[in-house]
Amino acid sequence: MTEAMPASTELSGAADSAATRRHVVFSHGQASGPWGRKISALAEIARGEGYEAHSVDYRGIDDPRARIARLAEFCKDLTGDLVLVGSSLGGYVAIASASMLHARGVFLMAPALYFPQLPPLREGVVDCSAAVVHGWRDDVVPFEHSVRFAQTYRAALHVLDGDHNLHNQIHVIQHLFEYFLIALDLPVPAFE
C-alpha cells in the first residue's frame, strides 16, 4: 500500500497539462513510516519546486528485494521527471532502483549501503545525479559507507553533526535538498 500526499497539495490538472510532470518519490527506513519527520519536511521543499510528492509504504516488508519491487510497481505509471529520495534502508532501495526507473536524481540520507546482509549493488548502479547526507555520530550505518559510495560514484557528500535519524539537521537537509532539485535544472557547463 502506498500513501499519497494530501489532496490539497496535488498539482491542478490545468497546471499539470501545461508543464512536464515532476515527481519525488520517498522511500523510508526500516524503523520508520512513509510520512515521518524528514520525509514530511522534504516533501514541502519538493512541492515548492514544482514536484508532486509521494511516499511508498514499506511497513511490514523487510526483504530489500521486495521493497525494490514495491518501488518499481509504484513508479510504473508515473510519467515525467523522477527523483528518488531514500533514508537508511530506503536509501539502499532508492539507489538500487535508480537506473531501472530512469531516475533523474537520487538524494540519500544515511543510506544503508555495503552491509553483508543486503544484496550487493551492481557495478555502475548510478547513472544520474546523486547526493548523500550522513551524520558523523550515526551508530546504525557508519558514515564511512557513504564516503565510500560518494568516492565510487562521485556523488555530492554532506557529513553533518547528527546521528542516524538526522532530526537535529532537518533544516540543513531541507536546504541541501532544495539546492539538489534546483541543480537538476541547471544547464551542464561546456568545457573545452
Residue reference for cell 510520512: 35
Q: Does the model's pTM come out above 0.85?
A: yes
Beta bridge partners of 53: 24
Which amino acid belongs to residue 28?
H
* pLDDT tens string 86-122: 999 999 999 999 999 999 999 999 999 999 999 998 8
* pLDDT tens string 48-83: 999 999 999 999 999 999 999 999 999 999 999 999
Which DSSP string do the residues of 20-38 spell out, in sequence order?
--EEEEEE--TTS-TT-HH
CATH fold of 21-184 reads: Rossmann fold (3.40.50)
What is the pLDDT at residue 192? 54
Going by C-beta distance under 8 Å and a sequence separation of 6 or more, which residues neighbour residue 120? none
Give the count of beta carbons closer than 10 Å to the beta carbon of residue 26.
27
Domain boundaries, the chain: 21-184
